[in-house]
């Protein structure tokens, strides 16, 4: 899901060792002093080396004044839902509305049972969480005695209250299919963790979650997305959240703009005091500036596209110029013939093109393992890639066609710039290159082997798709290097080089042709196999 427009916030996941109780309090106060927005505390009641989470949250609420607090996330099997509802509401009242409620089904079943909780299966823990949310909301909102039926959590003529000081958000830590369904239907927030789901996995799960939210009759913007992250500040970049603060800011801004995240809770390693300062004072404001600047650019782009003379062609919800960079019909707006070729042929607009359908009488019907969801999720991811490709084409076409002079190009680029070219046209397009590469890497490593296992006849198709990934990777690499040269410093001012603009225009067209053909071929050829494959998430 692209940017949901939520305010971006930053927090710290504090360790809670019983042996360092006073230190935990000082770290919480430091986080507040440095300007962070959230404190998250893990909840493992079966671990005697940790401070009790709810007791600690209550103490931290008294030791701070502004920062919000939440259990990240509560081990529900060891926290009776009705008592938890009253505890959360009480602390929210005492803290002036600074409490949110992170909930988890309970991952460590044996230690939980060892503490006296019923021995539940994984499926039962999900059912119990669903019932608990109903109990909690009823006690927060009902006007009179309330009865809530349930097998694991229930109420019988229970008196409601107290009411929280503000509408406490119920944020659910979820990864699997059933937990995502519950999150989509009942939660106010989704809390994945980098330790269990890296950015490429949250992208796929986010697409699935968006579909589930729509199926539940809700809007994706109803659900805030809070990402538990971990990383290392270093002089040079070595991967995701492993490098200098500016690299962190770029990567987290991408998660806001491309996946809809709006809160990041850092589990710092090493020097936690230094990490809190760097995260709060360098990363957080940089991310906010990048996101704000991109939102302004997108808003102005959307406004200008509505008033632009001539017809626009709408593909996947993105408006693009009807003319390509050489004045001919735009390749990015044209659909692809299903002839297995790499070329782009004329035809109906992509938005009107029929999708591959699953035969109702086959094993790939909706009731089969995995149903239609795998294919639907793949198409949704592809549609996002198509829409981003069109944005790139729209952004580079005027410069590549020579429609803008150097001064005008400089003005255009400056409106996309944060902190002296940290957020330029080039970095936006380079980010897209990384997203495509990540998507293809996941397919090669996970999806394609699983497909071949359930549908051996797809071997030649998968081999071709893998080869096409290599071709696209080569174009992406050349595209990325050309973007580096697109905007350069000259006498202290950024100008667009004409030769560089021509090169980037040609590469953008080549990339669009190859990518759109590849995506369409993949969707058609893999539809039945994906429907037979068990759900991957």
Beta strand 146-148 pairing with 155-158: antiparallel
pLDDT of 346 > 50? The answer is: no
Higher model confidence: residue 421 or residue 55? 55
Share of the chain above pLDDT 90, in %: 52
* CA–CA separation, 227 and 240 (whole Å): 14
- Please check whether residue 312 is in contact with residue 301, taking contact to mean a CB–CB distance below 8 angstroms: no
Res 409 pLDDT > 70: no
Cβ 517 vs Cβ 336: under 8 Å: yes
In our burial notation (b when 16+ CB lie closer than 10 A, e otherwise), range 366-393 reads eeeebbbbbbbbbbbbbbbbbebbbbbb
Confidence of residue 9 (pLDDT cuts 50, 70, 90): very high
The CATH architecture one would assign to domain 9-303 is: Alpha-Beta Barrel (3.20)
DSSP string covering 344-395, please? ----SBGGGSPPP---TTSTTSTTSTTTTHHHHHHHHHHHHHHHHHHHHHHH
In the three-class reduction of DSSP (H, G, I as helix; E, B as strand; rest coil), residue 309 is classed as: coil
Position 2 confidence tier, pLDDT thresholds 50, 70, 90: confident
Helix (H, G, I), strand (E, B) or coil at 413: helix
- CA pair distance 370, 368, nearest whole angstrom: 6
Q: Which has the minimum average pLDDT: 51-65, 97-111, 198-212, 382-396? A: 382-396
- Give the span between the Cα atoms of 106 and 497, in whole angstroms: 57
The 10s digit of each residue's pLDDT in 99-146 is 999 999 998 999 999 999 999 999 999 999 999 999 999 999 999 999
Confidence tier at 424 by pLDDT (50, 70, 90): very low
Cα–Cα distance measured from residue 465 to residue 463, given in angstroms and rounded to the nearest whole number: 5
In this prediction, residue 211 carries a pLDDT of 93
What span, in angstroms and rounded, lies between the C-alpha atoms of 1 and 185? Answer: 17
Q: Is residue 69 classed as helix, strand or coil in its secondary structure?
A: strand
Is residue 257's pLDDT more than 70? yes
Reported confidence tier of residue 167, pLDDT bands at 50, 70, 90: very high
Mean pLDDT computed over 151-157: 97
DSSP 41-61: E---TT-TTB--HHHHHHHHH
Q: Are strands 263-266 and 9-14 parallel, antiparallel or unpaired?
A: parallel
Q: Which pTM value belongs to this model? A: 0.61
In angstroms, rounded to a whole number, what is the distance separating the alpha carbons of residues 215 and 184? 9
Half-sphere exposure of 425 (CA within 13 A, CB side): 31
In the prediction, which pLDDT does 450 show?
76
Peptide bond into 374 cis (omega under 30): no
- Rounded mean pLDDT of the chain? 78
Maximum pairwise Cα distance, the chain: 76
Residue pointed to by tokens 């021995």:
119
Task: Please tell me the distance from the alpha carbon of residue 522 to that of residue 268, in angstroms, as a whole number.
Answer: 40
CA 201 to CA 207: how far, in whole Å?
Answer: 10
The CB density around residue 120, as the number of other CB atoms within 10 Å, is: 18
Q: Contact, 228 vs 40, CB < 8 A?
A: yes
Rg (CA), the chain: 25
Say if residue 311's pLDDT is above 50: no
Residue 350: is its pLDDT beyond 50? no
Q: How much of the chain, in percent, has pLDDT values that exceed 70?
A: 69
Amino acid 219: pLDDT: 94
Confidence at 493, pLDDT banded by 50, 70, 90: very low
pLDDT value at residue 388:
64
Q: What is the pLDDT of residues 436-472, one digit of tens each?
A: 666 666 666 666 777 777 788 888 888 888 888 888 8
Contacts of 464 (CB under 8 A, 6+ apart): none
What's the confidence (pLDDT) of residue 467? 86
Taking the domains of the chain in order of start, what are their residue ranges? Answer: 9-303, 308-532
């Amino acid at each position: 899901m692209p940017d949901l427009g939520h305010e971006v916030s930053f927090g710290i996941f504090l360790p809670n060792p019983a042996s360092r109780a006073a230190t935990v309090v000082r770290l919480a106060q430091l986080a507040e002093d440095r300007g962070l927005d959230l404190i998250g505390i893990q909840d493992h009641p079966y671990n005697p080396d940790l401070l009790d989470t709810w007791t600690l949250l209550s103490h931290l609420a008294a030791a701070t004044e502004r920062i919000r607090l939440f259990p990240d996330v509560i081990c529900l099997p060891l926290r009776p839902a009705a008592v938890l509802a009253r505890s959360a509401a009480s602390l929210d009242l005492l803290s002036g509305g600074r409490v949110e409620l992170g909930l988890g089904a309970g991952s460590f079943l044996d230690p939980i049972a060892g503490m006296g909780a019923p021995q539940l299966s994984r499926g039962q823990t999900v059912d119990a969480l669903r019932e608990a949310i109903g109990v909690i909301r009823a006690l927060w909102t009902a006007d009179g005695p309330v009865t809530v039926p349930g097998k694991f959590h229930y109420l019988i003529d229970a008196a409601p209250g107290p009411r929280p000081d503000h509408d406490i958000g119920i944020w659910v830590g979820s990864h699997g299919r059933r937990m995502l369904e519950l999150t989509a239907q009942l939660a106010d927030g989704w809390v994945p963790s980098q330790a269990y789901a890296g950015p490429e996995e949250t992208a796929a799960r986010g697409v699935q979650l968006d579909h589930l939210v729509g199926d539940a009759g809700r809007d994706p913007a109803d659900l805030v997305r809070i990402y538990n992250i971990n990383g290392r500040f270093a002089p040079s970049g070595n991967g995701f959240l492993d490098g200098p603060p500016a690299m962190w800011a770029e990567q987290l801004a991408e998660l806001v703009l491309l996946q809809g995240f709006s809160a990041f809770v850092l589990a710092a390693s090493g020097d936690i005091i230094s990490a809190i300062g760097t995260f709060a004072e360098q990363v957080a404001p940089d991310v906010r500036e990048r996101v704000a600047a991109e939102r302004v650019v997108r808003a102005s782009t959307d406004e200008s596209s509505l008033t632009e003379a001539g017809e626009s062609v709408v593909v996947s919800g993105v408006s693009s110029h009807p003319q390509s960079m050489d004045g001919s019909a735009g390749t990015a707006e044209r659909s692809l013939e299903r002839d297995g070729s790499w070329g782009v042929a004329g035809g109906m607009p992509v938005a009107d093109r029929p999708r591959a359908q699953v035969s109702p009488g086959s094993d790939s019907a909706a009731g089969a393992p995995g149903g239609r969801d795998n294919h639907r999720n793949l198409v949704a991811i592809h549609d996002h890639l198509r829409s981003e490709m069109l944005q790139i084409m729209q952004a580079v076409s005027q410069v590549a066609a020579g429609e803008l002079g150097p001064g005008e190009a400089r003005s255009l680029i400056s409106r996309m710039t944060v902190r002296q070219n940290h957020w330029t046209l080039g970095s936006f397009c380079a980010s897209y290159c990384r997203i495509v590469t990540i998507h293809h890497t996941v397919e090669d490593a996970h999806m394609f082997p699983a497909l071949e296992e359930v549908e051996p006849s797809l071997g030649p198709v998968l081999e071709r798709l893998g080869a096409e990934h290599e071709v696209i990777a080569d174009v992406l690499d050349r595209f990325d290097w050309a973007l580096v040269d697109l905007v350069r410093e000259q006498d202290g001012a950024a100008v667009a080089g004409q030769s560089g603009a021509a090169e980037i225009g040609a590469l953008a067209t080549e990339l669009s042709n190859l990518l759109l053909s590849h995506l369409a071929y993949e969707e058609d050829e893999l539809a039945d196999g994906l429907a037979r494959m068990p759900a991957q998430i």
